[in-house]
Structure formats: structure tokens, C-alpha cells
Amino acid sequence: AIYRQKIPENFRSEVKRVSSVGGHILTLADADYPNLLMEIDDPPPMLYVLGRLKTQEPAVAVVGSRNATAYGIDTTRRLCRQLAREGITVVSGMARGIDTAAHEGSVDGGGRTIAVTGCGLDTVYPPENKGLFRRIASAGAVISEFPMGAGPDPHHFPRRNRIISGLGLG
């Protein structure tokens, strides 16, 4: 029945919108869909991707407080810089505080990082991370399960967190 269905026109326009920002869409059926993510209870049927995912990359999730202390931010940057130098991909949510420090440390260490956002790829949240967003996309990937135009609604973040946990080994 699925194969007989006509592709909805809004899906075609969504693909064009994603392509217009340099991204693409992965589905559960794509070979590039992350293997570990398929093992969670509710894997997203589609991932919007800006940058490049690797299906077999050792990755860890690093998340924490948005109101982090200076010590917490410094420690997170150093830890993630070291992880990057060891070839470990850092996965986080690009939120203020620890998440931002995790991505910065990984990029500064010359490694890969994946930001899982709680909004569409055409929205940078928080807005002060616009430069970091671009750096992450070129040093790894920014991904979302939310369509283009989706804002950073509070109920998106718990859904985003299951993807962060599903992409890492720890």
C-alpha cells in the first residue's frame, strides 16, 4: 500500500526547501541512515541533514545545563577537544551552555560533531549560535526530524533528546 501511494506535493516542496539551504533528507530506508538510531524505540522516519552523517562512527553524547558555570563550560570544551583528537564524534543539542561548549570543543579539536536541533534546519536556535551552526555543518552535521519552518517549540526538545541518545555509544 505504501508503494502505491502518490508522493504528496508538500513532500516535493519540502525536499526543494531543504536543498535550498544545502541539505538533504534521509529516510529509514536509506543506507546512510545511522545504524544506532534505528535501534531506539521510536526512530524518526526522516532526518533533515545539513552536512554529512557517517553510518559507522564512534560517537558520544555530551549534554548539560543551559546555565552552566564557567568551570563546566571550560571542562566540557577541553573534554570534547580531546575526544575529537581521538576520532570520537561528539553529539549534542546546540543549546546554550554545555551543548555549545561540547560542539565548540569538538570543532576546535579538528573533529566531527553532530548537532541535533529542536527546530527546522532553516532556523538557528539559539540565534547567537549562527556561526557555530555553520562550523558544525562543515565539520560534521546539523540534523533535525522537524520540517523546514518548524520553530524551537518547547515540546520539540524532549523528542530531540531521544535522537541525541540514539546516535551515541554513551
Say which residues have a Cβ less than 8 Å from residue 167's Cβ, sequence separation at least 6: 34, 36, 37, 59, 61, 91, 114, 116
**pLDDT of 13:** 82
Q: Please check whether residue 27 is in contact with residue 156, taking contact to mean a CB–CB distance below 8 angstroms.
A: no
Q: Mean pLDDT, the chain, as a whole number?
A: 92
Give the C-alpha distances (Å, rounded to integers) separating 122 from 2, 26, 125, 142. Answer: 29, 17, 10, 11
pTM: 0.91
Q: Which of 166, 168, 161, 137 is nearest to 61 (CA)?
A: 168
Start-to-end CA distance of the chain, whole Å, equals: 38
Rounded CA gap, 7 and 88, in Å? 38
Mean pLDDT in residue range 16-25: 90
Tell how far CA 44 is from the center of its chain.
12
pLDDT higher at 21 or 85: 85
Distance, CA of 77 to chain centre: 18
* pLDDT 10s digits, 66-104: 999 999 999 999 999 999 999 999 999 999 999 999 999
More confident residue, 166 or 14: 166
The β-bridge partners of 86 are: none
Residue 9 is predicted with a pLDDT of: 66
Average pLDDT for residues 112-119, to the nearest whole number? 97
pLDDT of residue 107: 97
